[in-house]
Amino acid sequence: MSPRRVTPAAPSTAPGAGAQESQGLLHKYRELLAKHAALVRKLGENTRRQVVTFKLSHWALDTSDSALAMMNATSVVLANSRWHALGRLRGPWRREEDGAERMALRDVGQAEAEAVLALTGGGTRVTRYRQAREAAPRVLEVRAERVTGHLKGQVLVLARDITKQARAEEELANARATLLEREKVRALGELAAGIAHDLRATLNAMRLRLELLQRDVGPTAKGQQHLDALTRIVSDAEMRVGRLQDFSRGKPGTVLERVQLADVVHDAVDIVRGGIEHQARQGGHPLRLDVELPEGLPRVTGSAMELRYVIINLLINARDAMPRGGIIRVRASKTGKLVRLTVEDEGTGIPEEHLPNIFKPFFTTKGDKGTGLGLSMAHGVVTQAGGTLTGANRAEGGAVFTLTFPALKPLRARGRMR
């Protein structure tokens, strides 16, 4: 008997099962669509925020007063408009810390980037640059910082125009220096008030002794010349001590008069010539005074005693500047409406960096041997007389000081000129 084939029974499908499955899939599809739409909306919002942030950042960088650039070891990678604007300024730019010069802002940024990249362990570098050949130079503060992360190897360079700030700092420093100088002068005045009294008593004693010498001793012609010079020195010293006392008491200054400059120069030369020649003999180096004064020089306004002090001070400074000897030349001339007097030496000259400061109170290049008041007081005397005093270096070597005074017209007395 052959086996009977058994046919598998078809799965039974409950009524409505397919419809329920379709509904479930549709519901899931709709949920996915809703999530997708939410994601798209969120992505759009993020994109809009990023666009706004980018535009805002770009606007902020382009409208900033600071110049910003991203640099690597060889070039500028990215820069804002302010960087390009500052880059058009004329150089060279001089670094304040060492005087190194760079022709353009790009070169400045490159130098600072290289300096930062050379630092071990990163860090920030801040320095200042000043336009080297401008009458009113601009000043830049340059800040360079190494970038980390995926931009490693690049440097962010920020340059700010701080010209106004630098000028304010300079004005503040000058104001402080002026106040310090005034305080020194005030203290000096208080000290001088006490010293002047003692000096006057000493000078009176010296003058009396000189008068006794002139009366009792029959000196030689040269000895009489020395006594006359000493008497004139003591007399000038008494007058200067008197002025010092007047200054400490707040009294008016020197009364100006009509002065024959040639006579003042001759007196000053007579006073210092002996000391200069004696020092030259002791040092073994020849030192000579060469004086040329034309006849008929117009008179000038001033104080003979004060101007004599000025000439003596210039001659002594010339002597000190020539340790190996040389010639001190004194020349006078009338040029137009001016009387000009020059004192030249063949010494070491004045360092160029010191020329702007030589007439400032308490500035000296002699160290402990100088007070820094000689040229300052000389400048004040000449200025008070309506003249000018300038110092410069000679092309042949040494220094030259030039005094100029307005020439006075001769007085008319009873129809005659004098």
Residue 232 near residue 308, CB atoms below 8 Å? no
Structurally, how many domains does the chain consist of?
3
Domain of residue 88, CATH code? 3.30.450.20
Q: Tell me if 292 is assigned to some domain.
A: yes
Average pLDDT estimate for 170-196: 75
Give the whole-angstrom CA distance, residue 393 versus residue 390: 11
Which of 215, 250, 285 is at the close of a domain? 250
pLDDT of 190 above 50: yes
Same-domain check for residues 343 and 398: yes
* Domain identity same for 336 and 365: yes
Mean pLDDT of 377-400: 91
The reply to whether the predicted model has a pTM over 0.85 is no
Average pLDDT over residues 370-393: 86
What residue has token string 């362990």? Answer: 121
Domain end marker among 250, 285, 310: 250
pLDDT at 300: 94
Longest CA span, the chain: 186
φ, ψ of residue 142 in degrees (nearest 5)? -110, 125
The residue among 100, 129, 161 that closes a domain is 161
In a domain, 12, yes or no: no
DSSP 1: -
Q: Tell me what the mean pLDDT of segment 75-90 comes to.
A: 86
Can you give the pLDDT at residue 56? 60
Question: How far from 372 is each of 196, 309, 392, 400, CA to CA, in Å?
Answer: 20, 15, 18, 18
Q: Where does residue 42 rank: exposed (0-12), middle (13-18), buried (19+ CB within 10 A)?
A: exposed
- pLDDT above 50 (res 1): no
DSSP lists the bridge partners of residue 300 as 259
pLDDT for position 235: 74
Length of the chain: 418
Nearest to 314 by CA among 237, 374, 362, 359: 374
226 and 340 belong to one structural domain: no
**Residue 417, domain member (yes or no):** no
* 313-336 CB burial, b ≥16 within 10 A, e <16: bbbebbbebbeeebebbbbbeeee
- Give me the mean pLDDT over the 282-306 stretch: 85
Domain, as residue range, for 202: 165-250
Could you tell me if 368 and 352 lie in one domain? yes
Winning range, highest mean pLDDT, from 65-69, 156-160, 255-259: 156-160
Mean pLDDT, to the nearest integer, of 319-331? 89
What number is the average pLDDT over the span 165-179? 85
Return the number of other C-beta atoms located less than 10 Å from residue 107's C-beta: 15
- Mean pLDDT, all residues of the chain: 80
Kindly report the CATH number assigned to the domain that includes residue 399.
3.30.565.10
Q: Tell me: do 290 and 340 sit in the same domain.
A: yes
CB-count burial class (<10 Å; 0-12, 13-18, 19+) for 52: exposed
Regarding whether 357 and 265 lie in a shared domain, the answer is yes
